[in-house]
Structures are given as C-alpha cells and as structure tokens.
Structure 1
C-alpha cells in the first residue's frame, strides 16, 4: 500500500471516528460551570427549582451554589471573580455599584407585596412589651448583616414608629440563629425572614411585633441576582442562557407553589419539614425589576446616610432584568 492510499484510509477513519463521537452522549460539549453565591432562604426558591428541575442543565449550564449568611457577603466574592453571579439585596448591590465595583443586576429575585404577611417580620420573645420603634431604644435587634436591606428597613421602621434608629444596637446574627437568639435573650428583637420566621412563630416562643417592610414601603425590590460588567461583557450568551433558565424557574415556582414537588425542593435546601413549609409567607417572585422602585429604596438610603449624590437606577439594570 502506497503512501497516498494510507493517507486516504486515515482520513476516512478520522471522519468515521468523528461521526461516532458526535453521536455519543458522553462526547458532547461539557456544560459551562457557573458559581452562584446564594442564601438558604425562601427568596431563592426559583434558583433551587431551576437546579432541581434541570432548567439550567437544559441551557448547558452547571450551577454550583455557595451559601452565605447574607447577600452583602457574596458581593466581595463576586468582585474578586470567585463567583460569577451573586444573589444579594438591593442595598448592597447599589452600594457596590456606587463604589465603582461594576455590579449590574441581571435578574429579579424577590419583592414584597402590597399587604401583610410578607417575607420578613420583626419578632420578640412571647410576652414582650415591644410594640414600636420607641420601645426599641436602648435595646438590641438582630439583623443578618449591617448596611443591608434588613438593617436599613429595621432603622426605617424604628424611625417611622417614633424611635431614634441611632439609639438601637444592631447585632449581626445569621438568619437560622435569630429565633434562638431571641429565645435565649441575646437580643431583644430580630428582623427575620422566611422560612425561619414561620418556624419561630410555630414554636410558640416568639411572636410578631411588626412588618417593617410593609410599614415603610410597598412592593420593595428586596433581592436580585447580580454579575460584574466585565463578566457580562465577556459572556453575554452565558448570561442570556442563565436568565432564560432562571425565568423559566420563576414561572414554574409561581405555578406550582404548595405542590408536593415544590415542597420537596424547598425542604431539601432549607432543611425544614414539609408541614413547616406549607405555612410560609411567600415573596412575590418577579422576572423584571422596576427602576422606579429602586429609586424609592435609594431615597431611604439617603435618609439614613448610606449614600450621597445622584444614582442612576436604570444604569444598574442589565437588559435581561428589564425585558
């Protein structure tokens, strides 16, 4: 066999092997891994739904979650490139953007509604005489992290109900530990979110004092998913695929709340029993973010000296968050 014949055989063999590989599932392109900083609270239900239901996988994405105590803690990891997407509260995202860290919101997270109950409440030990912000002066309130949305709206509620927010001590306590902190008298009150709120109330050791979010502002854009401008610019297709999968998860979540499958997914990442989950107050899961609602939050931030000067809420929103 001469050299030209051998060359033709090699070409045919190469084409055949390529064809077999194309038909072999294991030879398909590997999924793109996306690291997401998140919090194990009810607000992140659509993210967990998308992972469990395979919506992200269907878009060729492998989502690896990194839990934190609060959205503010996930943003340094985002800025450093340790994660590509972070679930965070609007306060922390605005502050980071204002500081020039290049954050942009790519998808909505959770909103409060127009009425109570909503997704977070101020609780105190059963039998406590705390009723107003004035009653909290000189006392300790648990917040998950300082300079975030829980901290800000705790202060705003104290002020709105006759108290001096600067006369209150705000202690950082992770959400899962807040009820125990109240029961153990380590704090006098706690601004706690679901699913820990309902679990605490069900224990009959704490009671609800107020609904600070609703008392200060209706339909607050509490949380969102953010990425850096650099990552978005370099990976616009990945962002489109991630948001498409996430929005599909939002639709599924809104259509299946309370179902057995939904309850199983929520139980898996919150570690709550199904009967506890059925009593939860749920946030409004959205697919877009209204810049006017962010402006109202920024105004509260100005009142409490968290931000100065102009802020362009529209510039904070990547196109996938406003479609």
Structure 2
C-alpha cells in the first residue's frame, strides 16, 4: 500500500511539474504585432496545444529582454532591433517564432505624429524637436533614424526620448514632446481627439518587408523546454491566419490586450502575422544597426535562431 501510495504521489508531483512547465507568461507591448499570441489565448488555441498562456503588457519594448531573463515572462515579443542589441550586449536570447513583418498596409500605419503648434513640412524640420519613441533603439526609432539619414538629415539634431504607447496622447496634449513615433490605432485616436496631425509616414517611404517583432526566449529556458517551444510554435502558426484573415476575431483580441476600443482597433488592419522566421530576414536590420553604430560585434544569426 505504501508503495502504491508513493507511486501515486510521484505521479501527482510529476503531473504538477509538467503542468507548471506548460504555464507561460508571454510579454508584449500594446501594439498589434503580437496579435497571433493574443488570438491564440482568446480562441483557446494555446490550450488545445497543451499550454496555459497568460499575456503580460510591457510598457517599453526595450524592457522585454530584461523581463525574459528575470523570469517574469518566459517568452517576449521584442522588436528585431531590441533583440539584436540585447544579443550584441551579451544577453543569451534566442528567436523561437515569428510574430509580425512589415508590408504595405502596416508601413502606412506608422507615422511621426506631430502635436498642434508644431509645423513639419519636410524631414529637416524634425531637427531641434523633441521626439518620443516607444523604446530607444526599438523598431520605430531605428526606422525613423534610417529615414532621416536617407533624407540627408543628421539624426543627432533630434532629441529622442522614450514614451510608452498608452501615454502618447497625454504627453502630446501636454506639450511634453513635439512629436511621437507611433502606429495605429494610436494615430487615429490622437487625430480624432484633435491633438495634432501626421508629420511623416516614414515607414511607407522606406517600403520594407523585414520582421517587426518576433517571439524570443532565453537560450537556457528554450533548450530545457523543447516540447513547450514546439507547442508554442504550432499554436502561433494556427493563430496567424486568423490574425490576417478574420478581422472580427483579431480586432477583439487586440482591443482586449491593448485596452483600446474595438471601433478604434477595427479602423486599421493589424500588422501582418508571419509565424516562420528565417535568419536571412534579419540581415537587413543588422546592416542598418551597424550603420547607426548600434552594434559592437557581428551577430551570428544562425546562433540566435532556435532550431
């Protein structure tokens, strides 16, 4: 009887450990880029694949690598630039699945939004202005700097500060910054509130198709949990078509996570979800970041892509 009881206890403990192992915290900022994870939660796709996933809202994208390594989240959605900078700085992170990529629709949704009282007629007008970015070194910031350089403007003449997406409207209204680098649905929200106007659609002018955000984890955790990674990838692959093709479901999930109204979210399509991530897709980002002196070494893309 004692033996049977011991076996039963061991089985219970093992089951509990397995259950705990399959419980995940996934962290993203308040954008549409992690919509595949949002949909996978709300539509029960993660649960179908044996995962208990909870989404965690992260204010600034550049805080995601630290959140991963601290264990407060197991998987995060850093932008390509934040991820590469973190790896270059010595953080042992790996990419585990794709989240979003640039395309014509998503590029058109990205703007430099300018507050009332500030006039921006051409790129050089941003010189001397205070511009808020949702993470210095993050996607929108690096793209904007690239755009300025292509337009012959020295980005050193622009005063960049960090501003979270949810606080942009208030900071623009108060005059705390002259412009913010933002995207939908925040552009429509601030436009409808009469807070300013679009100063530049810089991503549309760059017209790129590289990854915006992808899902990443610490190498140690990912290598210890290959089955969890496999299930996560399968769930994201199943959720991606819903994000791209089912506006009702994707908008509902995005509104719920970002705490935006459903009407506002529906006003623009979410960024394209692409669950498959390839090393060569990040090569352009490395070249851009190297030109902006954001990297100190040559990042080995094959090493940071989890097989």
User: TM-score when scaled to structure 2?
Assistant: 0.88
| Equivalent residues of 1:213, 1:220 under 8 A apart | no
Instruction: Look up the match of 1:318.
Output: 306
| Equivalent residues of 1:72, 1:148 under 8 A apart | yes
| Equivalent residues of 1:133, 1:164 under 8 A apart | no
Instruction: Look up the match of 2:235.
Output: 245
The correspondence for 2:38, drawn from 42, 45, 48, is: 48
Greater CA radius of gyration, 1 or 2?
1
| Equivalent residues of 2:41, 2:54 under 8 A apart | no
Q: Render the CA deviation track for 1:121-152: whole Å, top value 9, x for unaligned.
A: 11112564213331111110010121222221
SS at match of 1:123: strand
Alpha-carbon separation, structure 1, partners of 2:210 and 2:121: 23
The runs of 5 or more residues in structure 1 that have no matched partner are 1-6
SS at match of 2:108: coil
Q: Render the CA deviation track for 1:28-71: whole Å, top value 9, x for unaligned.
A: x7462112222122112211111111111112211122211122
Alpha-carbon separation, structure 1, partners of 2:112 and 2:271: 16
The runs of 5 or more residues in structure 2 that have no matched partner are none
Alpha-carbon separation, structure 1, partners of 2:239 and 2:291: 36
Alpha-carbon separation, structure 2, partners of 1:187 and 1:127: 12
The correspondence for 1:191, drawn from 168, 175, 181, is: 181
Instruction: Look up the match of 1:96.
Output: 86
| Equivalent residues of 1:132, 1:162 under 8 A apart | no
Determine whether 1:272 maps to 2:249: no
Instruction: Look up the match of 1:305.
Output: 293
Q: Render the CA deviation track for 1:162-220: whole Å, top value 9, x for unaligned.
A: 32100110011111111332232211111012221222223333221222223235113
User: TM-score when scaled to structure 1?
Assistant: 0.84
Determine whether 1:67 maps to 2:57: yes
Instruction: Look up the match of 1:295.
Output: 283
| Equivalent residues of 2:106, 2:270 under 8 A apart | no
Alpha-carbon separation, structure 1, partners of 2:122 and 2:287: 23
Instruction: Look up the match of 1:129.
Output: 119
Runs (4 or more) in structure 1 with deviation over 4 Å come to: none
| Equivalent residues of 1:118, 1:282 under 8 A apart | no
Alpha-carbon separation, structure 2, partners of 1:68 and 1:116: 21
Instruction: Look up the match of 2:97.
Output: 107
SS at match of 1:222: strand
SS at match of 1:43: coil
Question: Are the structure 2 counterparts of residues 292 and 127 from structure 1 closer, same or farther at C-alpha, using a change threshold of 3 Å?
Answer: farther
Alpha-carbon separation, structure 2, partners of 1:175 and 1:162: 28
